[in-house]
Amino acid sequence: MMNQQTHPFLADEVLIELFCNGEKTAFDVLYKRYSNVVLETIRSKVKVKEEAEDLFHDFMLHLSYKLRNSYREKGQFKSWLFKSLNNYMCSYFRKKKQIFVDINLELSNQSLYEDDSEYMQLKEKILGYLQEFLRTLPESSLMLLKMRYWEGISYKEISRRTNIKYPTIVSMVRTIQKKLISFMEDRGCTRFDL
């Protein structure tokens, strides 16, 4: 097992290879190496401190997933990291501007694309799967999702309200997200559908 203190000077590519081979502490070294600059970059684009910190944690979890599942770069990791961060932030702001559809446990009969029957079928299928997934969750997990995504409450505020540590809240929500993605992929939905 690698020791973070004795290997802080390993090249990024070596750390990524170690991480992809199951060495979790390798990601910890990358996290420490880039966390300040990533957080400052996010803070420069998002002025609300809590929102920036939430995005930072979301991005770092997203980064660990991407490194393990889709990183194939042979160039500079730092360049790839900031390209990924830029894409993540663009996606975040794009989603923020979208009209959010209230997802209840009943299907909505209204659509922005009512004339597009293929879109409606896909929407109904995805909403049906989402409803099925939500029904499988324990009440505590459902409460976390409602607070975070339906009510738009920050991780810190959820932590305060539930008296659960902030990193635990971030981890719990990320775990639910991963389960949802797996659940949807098992039913043939791609990330592009979602």
Each residue of 32-76: pLDDT tens digit? 999 999 999 999 888 788 889 989 999 998 898 888 887 877 678
Neighbours of 132 (CB within 10 A): 12
Q: What pTM was estimated for this model as a whole?
A: 0.52
Q: Which of 125, 133, 126 is nearest to 176 (CA)?
A: 133
Contact 51, 76 (CB under 8 A): no
Q: Which of 29, 34, 24 is nearest to 78 (CA)?
A: 34
Distances (CA, A) of 4 to 33, 61, 65: 11, 19, 20
Of 98-112, 114-128, 138-152, which has the strongest mean pLDDT?
138-152
User: What pLDDT is recorded for position 122?
Assistant: 77
Does residue 5 have a pLDDT over 70? no
Does residue 194 have a pLDDT over 70? no
DSSP character at residue 105: S
pLDDT tens for each residue of 74-96: 678 888 898 889 888 888 877 76
Name the strand (E) or helix (H) holding 19. helix 12-20
Question: Cα 32–35–40 angle (5° rounding)?
Answer: 150
Q: How far apart are CA 138 and CA 161, in angstroms?
A: 18
Q: How far apart are CA 62 and CA 53, in angstroms?
A: 14
